[in-house]
Amino acid sequence: MKYPTPHINAAPEDFGQTVLMPGDPLRSKYIAENFLENARLVNNVRGVQGYTGTYKGVKVSVMASGMGIPSISLYAHELYHAFGVQNIMRIGSAGSMQEAIKLRDIVIAQGACTDSNFEKNFHLTGKFAPIASFEMLRKAVDACEALGAAYHVGNVFTSDIFYNDEDGLPEIMKMVPAWQKMGVMAAEMEAAGLYLTAARAQKNALCICTISDQILTGEHLTSEERQTSFREMMQVALETAVKLEK
């Protein structure tokens, strides 16, 4: 795949081997300004800010993914195929579907269940199980333990719909009982698409999320609390990126 691409105006050398992908472009900017050394803007097509700098001497990039499977899979495809990126880590928020998983806890998606039809794009004859890179997952767990972060590893549910058509409420509210009984930890909107894209490219991917909403109780973090809580997840992701270079 040739570069620059329709959505990333950069060259392969502009990116590190590992790219952190928050959904929000402003969070990408926040990570670059608060965690990376010598960070520089390498992409700003459509305002999707991408930065590259160093963290503990390791070249790391951070670029927004937007929301939903179509958006993250588009950027992941281009990063993997045109820019030579090996590892992509989604870092975002999720809603807990289990009582034991509390606000501010970190969930590491070993696998991603989904209601999306995105896998049909790959012309498979059965159902594909989208899973994380074990190497990335193991290093993320090590980083959580070193930082003393509360974390959970297991399945997440990647929803293709946010608002349902019946009453305009979040679609996941109707889905919780069914997925909860199967032990699914939390709901989000990108992991399955990222994992499928990584599998096809034969590259690595991992989704790490902070619980911002407890769907069962209705508890949620304020905007200020999200910023503070998400810093821990950002550190976990950056430490994982460093470990991947060793």
The reply to whether omega before 4 is within 30° of 0 (cis) is yes
* 225 CB-near residues (< 8 Å, 6+ apart): 104
What is the largest distance, in Å, between two alpha-carbon atoms of the chain?
Answer: 51
Catalytic site residue from 142, 160, 167, 213: 213
State the residue for tokens 């809603």. 95
CB count within 10 Å of CB 35 equals: 18
- What is the DSSP code string of 11-47? -GGGS-SEEEE-S-HHHHHHHHHHH-EEEEEEE-GGG
Told to judge if 160 belongs to the known catalytic residues of this protein, a careful annotator would answer: no
Dihedral (Cα; 179, 135, 20, 204), 10-degree rounding:
-80
Residue ranges of E strands in the chain: 18-21, 37-43, 50-55, 58-63, 87-96, 106-114, 151-158, 186-188, 204-214, 219-220
**Structure tokens, 136:** 């990335």
**C-alpha Rg value of the chain to the nearest Å:** 17
**Structure tokens, 51:** 């930065």
Alpha helix positions (H), 36-133: 69-82
Catalytic residues: 213
